[in-house]
A and B are shown apart, each in its own frame.
Chain A
Amino acid sequence: MSTAVQDPARPAAPSSEPRAAAPAAERQRSWWHLPAGLTVLALAALLVFGLRAPVGRGTSFRIAAPGDLNPGGILPGDVALPAGGTAIVCAILCLLIAGVLWFFAATSRALGRRARIALIVVFGLLWITAFLAWAFSGSTVDLGSLLQTMMVLAVPLAFGSLSGVLSERAGVVNIAIEGQLLFGAFGAVLVGSLTGSVWLGLIAAPIMALVIGALLALFAIGYQVQQIIVGVVLNVFAIGITSFFYGTVMQQDPTRYNQPMRLPIISIPVLSDIPVIGRVLFEQNILVYLMWIIVAVLTVALFRTRWGLRVRSVGEHPRAADTVGIDVNRTRWSNVLLGSAVAGLGGATLTIGTGVAFGEEMSSGKGYIALAAMILGRYHPVGALLAALLFAFADALQLRLGTLPSGSGAGIPSQFLLMLPYIVTLFAVAGVVGRVRVPAADGEPYVKQ
């Protein structure tokens, strides 16, 4: 489904003894990708964010909002910084980090994995600060509410990409995430409205999404139809059928069939008052908490349990799994169904999670972004979550920037920020930041003799 990494002709490995690992002096051919990429980003930050920022304009960063837990006012409310200066400083620090990575890569010196990741994270934070200083110049960045928006937008993406992880780890390509989200959103509102209970709506969402999952499994596993085609067609089907019922049944009697309702916010006392991150982490509806739980459970389950080992073996080498008595197609079926149920929860976020009624094609491509998040997250639940957060952050920024008072801000067209996830994914699948290892049997039907 993405960059295939199998090496066609495995190099000559003299069979008498294991091939000696490549000596440290022989670098991977792609060793320069990461430092070069970061350098380009840092330079862009310097040239665009730093030097093109309007002179003399400042950017305020709102850290602690009134009412936050802020004993004795330790944290400042708003921090006002010069836009250009902040961006330049951050960009230069970014360049330094890139330089450090160049050094280690070029001299083939081992840099601990943790240190590397830490450096990249710091780079990311600095870069974003530079960007914010520029983009919001002359205005205020309310970090708390920005992150809050991000979280709301990230939840459907995260659930969707977890659906992808579940089914693709077992070797079934899941392009139908969009349809699963849509069915989940539709089912949540429909059942919620009919029964008057938002909780029943919450239960209905995954069940509804199971329909798409079951169809995907039936055609992809049962009838071995090309999986990409099934996915694309199922998305068309899902959009068609939900729009059809939206246009008929729901429109005829919205109060009965399409009532906006919202899951209650569960606020954890004290913790939710922590500045910036409090509301984001501890004042959310159940779906957000469920997302954290599912990511954690899935990570453990995939990599630490018997079930996970079997699922991965089915996705990597189904025949080998079969020869040790694992029922390949049953595993695939159950994973696709499980995945679609998870995506259904993501769909529920779109309606009962945010308190809006169902609308035609309301998933609006989120399924495809979720797919991208799954790939960028390298088929790992945590990676998928991080990628979903990143994409949601871009979306949240776009929304925030759209509401800036005229005359402030850098005037970035919202469309560019909307494009961002797709461009990032394009770079990711092109292997600019390391190759994505796809489950070897992803997309291949398994046929027993």
Chain B
Amino acid sequence: MKLELRGITKVFGTFVANDSIDLVVEPGEIHSLLGENGAGKSTLMNVLYGLYQPDGGQILLDDRPVQFSGPGDAMRAGIGMVHQHFMLVPPFTVAENVVLGHEPTKGGLLDLATARRTVREISARFGFDLDPDAIVEELPVGAQQRVEIIKALSRRAEILVLDEPTAVLTPQETDELMAIMRQLRDEGTSIVFITHKLREVKAVADRITVIRRGRVVGSADPSADQTELASLMVGRQVALTLDKAPAEPGDTALQVRGLTVTDEAGVTTLDGVDLDVRRGEVLGIAGVQGNGQTELTEALLGLQKNVRGSILLGGEEIVGRSTRQVLDAGVGFVPEDRTHDALVPDFSVAENLVLDQHRRPPFGSGLSLKLKAIHERAKEAVREYDVRTGSVDSAVSTLSGGNQQKIVMARALGRDLSLFIASQPTRGVDVGSIEFLHRRIIAERDKGTPVIIVSTELDEITQLSDRIAVMYRGSILGIVPGDEDRDVLGLMMAGYTVEAAREAVAGGARTTDTQLVDEGEIV
């Protein structure tokens, strides 16, 4: 089916999310929509899927204008969507999720036998190994994504929209997903592939449309130069590397031995982790999301309950201490999800900046707050970090993602630290702010603070780290130098040990990413 968007405009308040966007997706092509976080890609697709009503413009399917008042209409017209945040009902089974909304019935009752058959048939076509009776919330994310794909295909979608589908996948899973996309394309399905990862676009797309600040700024085919695409996407020349002096590591400040965490259900989520971090170095922790990184940082912060093993910070044991005591020991922490874990949305910028410091002078005595000192601190931080806000009394939820992240960073770095931990320090942040935040992190390192960076973005890890630890299934598979071969890192993220990964790479193993490197397209 051919899809055409003409002059789609969507306005939220005074903010134009989509400004007269034109897009044509031919039948049987993989069309990549490339853009930064916040460029308006998801908004556009939500308009297409009937979740938002456009303020202007037209949607045409096979050259016939259509109007969707809701996702139901879009689905009936043959559009399927795999959402970035999965639209699955967690306690339902795979089969129930797949048929939800178009349930087969028999004699007035749900016909789950037919539903199971549907799941099995589509699974067989793509080689998925899915139990139709598995409860979705008990499945790993990769499998949940497949449920989403089956859901779309079971509705005979002829246009499939994939919204940032690779964010949660390992490189291997990403390759499998790309194979599925190609198979679908060859069967005649049109695919819209939304992403901000240049490598993936180049690997799979037939055509590329770049969106920036709600507008189409250009289109390209996959042979286009990578840096060209990058600057098109960002709107200016980007430095893909970070200038930093070599680290001058001092003595060991943090010593982690045999750190093991079990969750409520008794499952071991962190398994015997050993780590050392020295003063003045950045230890990067790489790995696919959900391999124990969250548990590691939370255990360091005293946020996990069942912790065994030892964490020595400056020679003092901090296992068993409360979060407050850990923070008091001089640990600065940037959590992975700022809106969920770091900021109090109703609080002002000033209040958020002292959230973890409000008990201590100069911001408060034990009993009451020193509003003046809090205000002064906020003004200083806003100036230093160039936070764009009307006033330090504005609610933090009115700020953009990049500015919010600056506040989280300013709070963590606002005092002398014995350890700095930043998890996903630049997730969902625009390129300009990324550079700034990265420089701040390196500056902290150069002050002699030991730094731990956790990121699922390999680029970020390799740019910042002096050493890299790769986590897989709750353990550290190995610690390698900061300039380790990307292929080795990629394989380690998939569960190879250092030796095995190096051997495999030496023997010619390649991930999709590095094939492109070889072709000289990635700097």
Contact = CB atoms under 8 A, between A and B. Distances in A.
A180 B105 CA distance: 34
A28 B265 contact: yes
B100 A305 contact: no
Given A9-B294, A309-B103, A15 B140 contact: yes
B290 A15 contact: yes
A26 B89 contact: no
B402 interface: no
Nearest to B74: A325
Interface stretch (B45-53, B223-231, B371-379, B481-489): B45-53
Contact of B88 (A16, A306, A320): A320
Nearest to A13: B140
A317 B96 contact: no
Interface in A303-349: 304-306, 308-310, 312-313, 316-317, 319-327
Contacts of B109: 300, 304-305
A333 B263 CA distance: 39
Contacts of A9: 294-295, 298
B267 A19 contact: yes
A316 B52 contact: no
A424 B141 CA distance: 39
B105 A17 contact: no
B294 A319 contact: no
Nearest to B91: A316
Given A306-B105, A316-B89, A324-B72, A15 B110 contact: no
Interface string A289-313: 0000000000010001110111011
Contacts of B494: 16
Nearest to B86: A320
Nearest to B104: A306
B92 A316 contact: yes
Contacts of B101: 310, 321, 324-326
Contact of B172 (A16, A22, A305, A327): A16
A309 B145 CA distance: 21
Interface of chain A, main secondary structure: loop
B294 A15 contact: no
B70 to A, nearest CB: 6
Contacts of B290: 10, 12-15
Contacts of A306: 103, 105, 110
A29 B91 CA distance: 21
B292 interface: yes
Interface residues on B, range: 35 or more
Nearest to A27: B266
A287 B75 CA distance: 44
Contacts of A300: 109
B102 A324 contact: yes
B472 interface: yes
B170 A320 contact: no
A16 B170 contact: yes
B139 interface: yes
A16 B495 CA distance: 9
A5 to B, nearest CB: 10
A325 B140 contact: no
Q: Which of B72, B103, B267 has the most CB of A within 10 A?
A: B267
Contacts of A19: 138, 140, 267
B260 to A, nearest CB: 13
A16 B108 CA distance: 39
B75 A325 contact: yes
A375 B472 CA distance: 40
B504 interface: no
Given A28-B266, A305-B108, A320-B87, A15 B170 contact: yes
A26 B266 contact: yes
B234 interface: no
Q: Which of A14, A316, A327 has the most CB of B within 10 A?
A: A14
A322 B75 CA distance: 11
Contacts of B88: 317, 320
A11 interface: yes
Nearest to A29: B264
Contact of A313 (B71, B100, B142, B472): B100
A17 B49 contact: no
A191 to B, nearest CB: 33
Contacts of A22: 265-267
A321 B89 contact: yes
B110 A309 contact: yes
Nearest to A26: B266
B168 interface: yes
Contacts of A7: 263-264
Interface in A58-76: none
B495 A317 contact: no
Interface in B257-301: 263-267, 269-270, 288-295, 298
A18 interface: yes
A169 to B, nearest CB: 12
Given A304-B110, A309-B103, A440-B90, A323 B266 contact: no
A304 B263 CA distance: 34
A312 B91 CA distance: 10
A449 interface: yes
A297 to B, nearest CB: 11
A28 to B, nearest CB: 7
Contacts of B270: 12
Nearest to B337: A9
A15 B141 contact: yes
Given A22-B266, A321-B89, A15 B103 contact: no
Contacts of A29: 264-266
Interface string B461-500: 0000000000011100000000000000000001100000
B173 interface: yes
Contact of B71 (A26, A308, A325): A325
10 contacts: A11-B295, A14-B140, A14-B495, A15-B142, A29-B266, A300-B109, A305-B109, A309-B96, A327-B70, A449-B51
Interface of A: 7, 9-19, 22, 26-29, 300, 304-306, 308-310, 312-313, 316-317, 319-327, 437, 440, 448-449
Given A26-B267, A306-B103, A309-B103, 10 more contacts: A11-B263, A14-B291, A22-B267, A305-B108, A309-B100, A309-B110, A313-B92, A317-B87, A324-B87, A325-B75
Listed from nearest, the 6 A-B pairs whose CB atoms lie closest are A325-B72, A324-B101, A26-B266, A320-B87, A14-B473, A306-B103
